């Protein structure tokens, strides 16, 4: 970008310094995330660049930490890699199990949060909604209340969920259901925020147009409203999924040994002894987040195009 011609020399210097400062802040934002990628290919169990890595010697790099992700926890990792080995990895490898758990909990929590959140957002965006501000504040609060308070509350509640109405119906700790409910709660604010934002740009006259053409409310919803707000719903769902996929405190308090998720395993690894295997997981997760980010960005642009909002 060319600088305006009316600037004094001192202001020119400042403009260049300003851009240098911005560049440094961008480096601060992104470098820490990218640094783990090359380090995860380290052939040595260190967390810094070895001489060999710096001189781009192939011997300095290896896939061994990615291999440990597969073999850790297996019954017989040293065997020949045939079908039996892969089934062993699928059923017993710690990180594979953690990935399955993360996906299961994330999937159901996302479904629950997205369905409930979208329906509620439809109500919230109606002008006649009573107590709108208060209800909105309540629904957003799981994002604001410190997670440790939510987790401790759920810890007691889950130990005897029916106790509050004087019955006993088992407990929700160390169950998938409990974790799904907790993660859905944490994901709901994100769905509400994105879907209401999409609905605020929604042209309400389209509903009247649809009705005047003879569509009942159901048809109007599925044929008119849904296609237009779908990008917003999917963004909200992705936010909810990432919230669950990245969540560790509720898992620490509520999950049993069978529900260990990826963040939970990482937590263990970071607290005890960070092995470079953690960096391999981190690298894979960075790739996941880049994919999700790209998806959301594409959706946002599509949504703006659909709604006729010119991108700013």
Partner 1 sequence: MSQITTNGDLTTSDGRPLKAALAAAQFRAKRRAFFLVAPLLLFIIVSFILPIGQMLHRSVFHDGFAANAPDVKAWFAVNPDGTAPDEAAYAALAQDFKAMKADKTAGIAGTRVNYTLPETRSLITATARVADDLAPPYKDAFLALNPKWGDAAVWQAMRSASSAYTADFYLISTDRERAADGTIQKVPENTRIYIYLFVKTFLLSAVITVICFFLAFPVAHLLATLPTARANLMMILVLLPFWTSLLVRTTSWIVLLQGQGVVNDVLIALGIVGDDGRLKMMYNQAGTIIVMTHVLLPFMILPLYSVMKTIPPSYARAARSLGATSWTTFRRIYLPQTLPGIGAGALLVFILAVGYYITPALVGGADGQLISNFIDFHMDKSNWSLAAALSAMLLGGVLVLYWLYDRLVGIDNLKLG
Partner 2 sequence: MKKLLILTTALTGVAFAAQADVTVMSWGGAYGAAQTEAHVKPFAAKTGIATIMVDSDNPATPLKAMVEAGNVTIDVASVEYADAIRLCDEGVLEPIDVAALPAGADGVAAADDFLPGAVTDCGVSTDIWANIFAYDTTKITGTVPTTVADFFDLEKFPGKRGLKKGAKAVLEFALMGDGVAPADVYATLGTPEGLDKAFAKLDTIKSEVVWWEAGAQPPQLLADGEVVMTTAYNGRIFNAAVGEGKPFAIVWDGQIFENEMYVVPKGAPNKDAAMQFIQFATSTEGLQAQAMQISYGPARKSANATEILYKDGKTVMGPNLPTAPENMKNALETSSSFWVDKDAELNERFNAWLATN
> Interface residues with partner 2 (CB under 8 A)?
91, 100, 103-104, 107-108, 155-156, 158-160, 171, 173-174, 176, 256-258, 268, 271-273
Asked if 40 contacts 276 with a C-beta cutoff of 8 angstroms, the reply is yes
Residue 173 binds which entry of partner 1, partner 2, none, CB below 5-8 Å type-dependent? partner 2
Structure tokens at 126: 């109606």
Residue closest to 292 by CA, chosen among 253, 241, 248, 255: 241
Chain position carrying tokens 């994330």: 106
Q: Which lies closer to partner 1 via its Cβ, residue 42 or residue 74?
A: 42
Task: Identify which of 25, 31, 36 has the alpha carbon closest to the alpha carbon of residue 287.
Answer: 36
Among 103, 104, 116, 228, binds partner 1 (CB under 8 A): 116
Q: Is 260 in the site for partner 1 (CB under 8 A)?
A: no
246 lies in the site for partner 1, by CB under 8 A: yes
Q: For the chain, report the end-to-end CA distance as a whole number of angstroms.
A: 18
Alpha-carbon distance of 282 to 267, in angstroms, equals 12
Taking CB under 8 A as the criterion, the residue among 13, 59, 76, 119 binding partner 1 is 119
Does 179 interact with partner 1 (rule: CB under 8 A)? no
Residue 206 is a binding residue for partner 1 (CB under 8 A): no
Q: Would you state the structure tokens that stand for residue 240, as one six-digit string?
A: 């909810």
What, of partner 2, partner 1, none, does residue 215 touch, CB below 5 to 8 Å by kind?
none
Query: Do residues 119 and 219 lie in contact, with contact meaning Cβ atoms separated by under 8 Å?
Result: no
The site map against partner 1 for 123-162 (x = CB under 8 A) is: xx-x-xxx--x-xxxxxxxx-xxxxxxx-xxxxxxx----
User: Which token pair is 216?
Assistant: 């009942």
Q: Is 241 in the site for partner 1 (CB under 8 A)?
A: no
To partner 2, the closest distance from the beta carbon of 260 in angstroms equals 8
**Residue 160: enclosing H or E segment and its boundaries?**
none
Half-sphere exposure of 255 (CA within 13 A, CB side): 23
Partner from partner 1, partner 2, none binding residue 32, C-beta < 5-8 Å depending on class:
partner 1
The CA-CA-CA angle for residues 99, 158, 98, to 5°, reads 10
- 65 interacts with, out of partner 1, partner 2, none, CB within 5 to 8 A per kind: none
Choose among partner 2, partner 1, none what residue 150 binds, the Cβ cut-off being 5 to 8 Å by kind: partner 1
Instruction: Return the residues of window 40-99 that contact partner 1 according to CB under 8 A.
Output: 46-49
Matching residue, tokens 């029916």: 162
């Amino acid at each position: 970008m060319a600088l305006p011609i009316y600037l004094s020399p001192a202001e020119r210097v400042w403009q260049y310094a300003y851009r240098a400062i911005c560049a440094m802040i961008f480096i601060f934002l992104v470098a820490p995330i990218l640094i783990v990628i090359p380090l995860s290919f380290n052939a040595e169990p260190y967390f810094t660049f070895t001489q060999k890595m710096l001189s781009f010697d192939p011997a300095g790099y290896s896939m061994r930490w990615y291999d440990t992700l597969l073999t850790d926890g297996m019954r017989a990792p040293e065997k020949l890699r045939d079908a039996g080995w892969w089934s062993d990895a699928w059923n017993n490898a710690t990180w594979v199990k953690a990935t399955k758990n993360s996906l299961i909990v994330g999937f159901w929590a996302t479904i629950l949060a997205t369905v409930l959140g979208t329906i509620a957002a439809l109500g919230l965006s109606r002008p006649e909604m009573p107590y709108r501000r208060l209800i909105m504040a309540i629904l957003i609060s799981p994002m604001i209340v410190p997670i440790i308070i939510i987790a401790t509350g759920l810890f007691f509640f889950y130990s005897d969920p029916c106790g509050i109405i004087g019955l006993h119906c088992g407990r929700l700790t160390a169950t998938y259901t409990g974790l799904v409910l907790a993660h859905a709660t944490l994901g709901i604010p994100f769905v509400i925020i994105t879907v209401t934002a999409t609905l605020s740009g929604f042209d309400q006259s389209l509903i009247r147009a649809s009705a005047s053409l003879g569509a009942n409310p159901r048809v109007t919803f599925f044929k008119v409203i849904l296609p237009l707000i779908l990008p917003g719903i999917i963004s909200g769902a992705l936010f909810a999924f990432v919230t669950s996929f990245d969540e560790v405190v509720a898992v620490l308090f509520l999950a049993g040994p069978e529900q260990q998720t990826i963040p939970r395993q990482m937590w263990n690894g970071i607290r005890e002894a960070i092995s470079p295997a953690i960096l391999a997981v981190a690298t894979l997760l960075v790739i996941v987040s880049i994919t999700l980010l790209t998806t959301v960005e594409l959706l946002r642009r599509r949504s703006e195009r659909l709604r006729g909002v010119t991108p700013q």
